[in-house]
Structure 1
């Protein structure tokens, strides 16, 4: 194999070219971008002068271990227990098939085979990367770092990093940072991706011209456990991004003959900036949904904000009747439906309907809900257990704990060790019983606390366990079972809001809950960030009466509906308190949503401005181009009209045919595509009109 040999993997519009380095036993990135970008010298070529660094430290390496890359950050740190760390491998083999590439390197002294794996995702501009690590010696190996991959991106001065940050009730905040030199890192050790950061990053050249969108490179880690993403702006004029799982116990032990496969890292590119990159991710997530994508996401009503823990059949049916009258298609009973659940201090783990709440039986209640024309859903928190529950009394060994230490309660609950097969079997049996005995159509899976005292007494030395990965595999096993055993059930993923949203979860659920914050302007910012990384058809959003948490400015019921209609529409308000006028308005919005949800969920989405602008919106174009739906919002002060001279705000649309005509039937107005692209869609905001949904039909 010659050191200059290279391979190109092609996605729908892009190419990713890897070569063997002429300077050492590793693979390097030759080119990544639009088709044909590989035809020329490598953009990340370096001067070959390596004062105080090694060639591997300076190279745009795809994956290099500590040993070969001692200074600039290695992707793999391995050793025999008690021995010095380091891998010094040599190239062994390449296997190339259409859409896939496998490059194998071996260290015969250490006893480690490392295979770098690449696979394109058909019909998208996404490339998967992961690594397979096999212990080939007679002694086990200790893996202290086991990243999935590294990606290299050329920049001329600084790298513009875009990431999604926040906290509980303020997830997915769109955040930017220019990194000229140094290291940037995000991640989580909470056993889930967490509320603080999403496992997603976009990189652009900060010096790109301002009159055109800078090409955007993106990565997203498919792992619902502990993780990290680290970006290093290196002296040679590039940024190198590493990503992977983080073992909770500090290291993973690999036994002779065993192979460890890292989580997949999805890599994406768009020449059309962050907005174009978002559409690449949306298309990828529609592919993850498979055939389930074409099942309409039904308009949901959830009873939590109306009743809290005070659940009884009569009040739930009253709400269900009101929801059905508005046009809702699904009624979800949230927390409080099971025995022992008068508040958040009890009941978790004892998943049986409370006979006091449903005196005629839960099945009678379910029949009454269905008689209203509604499907039935339940909230459940399968990983949690209350200390006073029957389950905990029977199986105290099933919770995470450290022998001789107090068990910390978060939200008055403990966490089940879902890495144990017996716990998995209990959860599977519980879900099977609920979904068959009561014919439940919708399941909201919640998780309201991270693991704290993460131990498993009696299972051997703690540093030899891999509890984070075992919990992840148990979680995914249960979700996979739901898909196969109960394919008719719609599954919603939730973790105290948006604490566990990444591609492994999205591939196994139908919708996810981005945040517990449903206040209008707060929610708009959450959804703006969310839609950069994730698709509208997975974004569950409710209309509620919640006041603002971070932005308390009031907004209309229309604003709340249009915001929620940007994804999968739900309602969580106490409908009993709404006036007849509010109910009539709500019914009208629900009817409009049903007319356009196929465009919202299946079309191309474009983010028009941001919530920082006085007017912003989201544009959805149907796959056939015949309809364009625009959700428009007023987030700033009014311009004084009509008391003083003023004119409507304008929201410039994108991606339309400038020669075509577009008709707004609601206002009997026809626009040329050129007009909407150049001047924009007029929005005449007033104190009582702060949002609109415009449907344009191409003539």
Structure 2
């Protein structure tokens, strides 16, 4: 088995054997080791990255490649960091100065390595936080200096990793509105492959900032060496994959430096976002489970807490509603048995009422014609029916047809001497301006103060930055993309300081924001405006590689031509919600939906907090099969989706995963439509875990009917 051992190029790097005076810096998790050493020239080298080795093996490792290649010296490849000193010198050398290890607790340890330039008062500190039990590493960089004037930093990576293998395979995820996270795998060849975003506020619109790199051959769910990585940053990102002339691979991850040269003042520290990654020698499935555990424990707000089922009004009413219609929907929410009613776009604006997407955005007062008694009245009406109330906001944006635009034209990102450029008839507020930050915070705060029963917020962001210029930043326009994201976090820090537990959904016209930089402030995210259940199988499948099920909001709507049961079964693989008028349901459909909500509440702990196993990929055939297994392996939930359009398709048996081979499990089909029975011949039978994993189940007895689905619960006997 080839490990991630990186042997240096003799002409470029100095080999250094381990010795008593040069003990390696060990960055370790339960199953992974990243080993750094110091060369004779005092540069820090990556000597090993892969499966954890016995302690006796480290002394045998030699050499490596520089952990943070700089620009302007002898490096001939893509740099991880580039700086121009205030005397005009465009070079940077970084040598070892010191390192420290801070153990937060038995699971979390941060190793910090300080590098310095021998000729200039510049320091760069590399931080590696390990999450031992989750097998996840988080890497970021701090840059500071004490030169007389500002220096210009034009590259500032969070991480640089080196690999040696025969071949490399990149799995990336791309898309557009309503067709997010399309999975593509390709072989990396000599040269540079870049995956990046330059969109600013809606950064994941075309490219999702997640990837796999597999070594030697494409990885499957259960086999192959790989890393899975993602950047915790809600702004422009860039991943560079460079295969050199000797077939070595460098992966550079961080903020996209496009149009973002940063003038770093003396004494100021530039901190990059964290690059979060995990190594797996057992395929993509293990990497996903590592990231899911990490996310629930460290990456997502209240990641191990409860989530609310909800009824949203957007697909049901759009902006055409009034107070009485909403109260009627509260009754529908009660009949469904969901926890929350969510009022979407269209509730605000008076001088410019929000009756379409052309007006009102930025004027966050209740529309007196639609809601004469205000939000507080709606909160109370919902509570009287045993339902909580939530609301939609898009506080970073403004319509030109709004009072906010008229009063504060200097609060808007737009180029001087150029026409305004609109997306969804709106512009982006200049969040770098502290007054705008106050406005956004106060928008949220005033709503919650006026209506203390408000229980949920959907935070939207429906356009990216174009023709962007900040009146506030003046001559520092190259700081705009970075400072906007930092300012976004500043506002969220203030909100979370006052409202630490309020559930907030992260939305961006679908999956425009899907990152762990934001998710530490949010409980969940909206994967896509495409709620067609057939399409959602692929979308939710793609996101599942990097995000746990309790973060993926999945709503049952009228989009698509599938049955209500199929749509419900698809939504159950994430965080269940409804966005549909139930007054059009038949009595059977309403009975089914009410029972489905109760069923979901019973199995959701397994889905949200269990380990996920993707068994049959929709990319490899006309079906998708996946399952969630409780940590104690006493329960599991199995989802089976037939995606075929022809009745003639016949599917093979499916071997389950993740069960205890020695336990016995009863298989029972659940979430059946009223007055129907399971067609599964093994329904309500008991099997050993070994049988289910070695022999498997026939999930399509006879012939698979098009666009049908099954949900099974396995319970230890």
Q: TM-score under structure 1 normalisation?
A: 0.92
1:206 deviates by: 3.3
- Secondary structure at the counterpart of residue 303 of structure 2: helix
1:579 deviates by: 2.3
Aligned pair partner of 1:28 in 45, 49, 64: 45
The change in CA–CA distance for 1:122 and 1:44 in structure 2 (over 3 A counts) is closer
CA displacement, residues 107-160 of structure 1 (integer Å, 9 cap, x when unaligned): 24343211112121253211111111112211211011111110122322x101
Aligned pair partner of 1:70 in 72, 75, 88: 75
Q: Does 1:15 align with 2:33?
A: yes
Match of 1:664 in 2: 667
Q: Name whichever of 316-325 and 1-10 sits farther off.
A: 1-10
CA distance in 2, matches of 1:184, 1:521: 32
CA distance in 1, matches of 2:472, 2:603: 56
Is contact 1:419–1:467 with CA below 8 Å preserved after alignment?
A: yes
The change in CA–CA distance for 1:2 and 1:349 in structure 2 (over 3 A counts) is farther
1:231 deviates by: 0.8
Is contact 2:668–2:714 with CA below 8 Å preserved after alignment?
A: yes
Q: Name whichever of 583-592 and 685-694 sits farther off.
A: 685-694
The change in CA–CA distance for 1:267 and 1:44 in structure 2 (over 3 A counts) is farther
Match of 1:406 in 2: 419
The change in CA–CA distance for 1:291 and 1:384 in structure 2 (over 3 A counts) is closer
Is contact 1:562–1:693 with CA below 8 Å preserved after alignment?
A: yes
Aligned pair partner of 1:79 in 66, 74, 84: 84
Q: Does 1:556 align with 2:563?
A: yes
CA distance in 1, matches of 2:210, 2:43: 26
1:253 deviates by: 0.5
CA displacement, residues 557-605 of structure 1 (integer Å, 9 cap, x when unaligned): 2221111111100111222332222222212221211110011111111
- Secondary structure at the counterpart of residue 450 of structure 1: coil
Match of 2:347 in 1: 337
Is contact 1:659–1:674 with CA below 8 Å preserved after alignment?
A: yes
- Secondary structure at the counterpart of residue 524 of structure 1: helix
CA displacement, residues 188-220 of structure 1 (integer Å, 9 cap, x when unaligned): 111143222122221111337989600221221
1:686 deviates by: 4.5
CA distance in 2, matches of 1:337, 1:134: 47
1:516 deviates by: 0.8
Is contact 1:60–1:240 with CA below 8 Å preserved after alignment?
A: no
Gaps of 5+ in 2: 1-18, 104-108, 670-682
1:89 deviates by: 3.3
Is contact 2:553–2:577 with CA below 8 Å preserved after alignment?
A: yes
Is contact 2:30–2:133 with CA below 8 Å preserved after alignment?
A: yes
Is contact 1:12–1:125 with CA below 8 Å preserved after alignment?
A: yes
Is contact 2:301–2:523 with CA below 8 Å preserved after alignment?
A: no
Match of 2:655 in 1: 652
Match of 1:283 in 2: 293
Q: How many residues align?
A: 673
**Aligned counterparts, 1:49-448, within 5 A:** 60-80=65-85, 83-98=88-103, 99-156=109-166, 158-191=167-200, 192-207=202-217, 213-247=223-257, 249-288=259-298, 292-339=302-349, 340-438=353-451, 439-448=453-462
1:619 deviates by: 0.8
1:640 deviates by: 4.3
Is contact 2:170–2:186 with CA below 8 Å preserved after alignment?
A: yes
Aligned pair partner of 2:580 in 565, 569, 573: 573
Is contact 1:31–1:37 with CA below 8 Å preserved after alignment?
A: no
Is contact 2:219–2:283 with CA below 8 Å preserved after alignment?
A: no
CA displacement, residues 511-551 of structure 1 (integer Å, 9 cap, x when unaligned): 1011111111111101111000111111111111112xxxx
Aligned pair partner of 2:491 in 464, 469, 478: 478
1:338 deviates by: 0.8
Is contact 1:31–1:42 with CA below 8 Å preserved after alignment?
A: no
- Secondary structure at the counterpart of residue 633 of structure 2: coil
Q: Does 1:584 align with 2:600?
A: no
Match of 2:678 in 1: none
CA distance in 1, matches of 2:498, 2:657: 43
Aligned pair partner of 1:635 in 635, 640, 643: 643
Is contact 2:112–2:125 with CA below 8 Å preserved after alignment?
A: yes
1:257 deviates by: 1.6
- Secondary structure at the counterpart of residue 266 of structure 2: coil
Is contact 1:32–1:38 with CA below 8 Å preserved after alignment?
A: no
CA distance in 2, matches of 1:533, 1:486: 27
Q: TM-score under structure 2 normalisation?
A: 0.89
Gaps of 5+ in 1: 47-58, 548-553
Q: Name whichever of 187-196 and 343-352 sits farther off.
A: 187-196
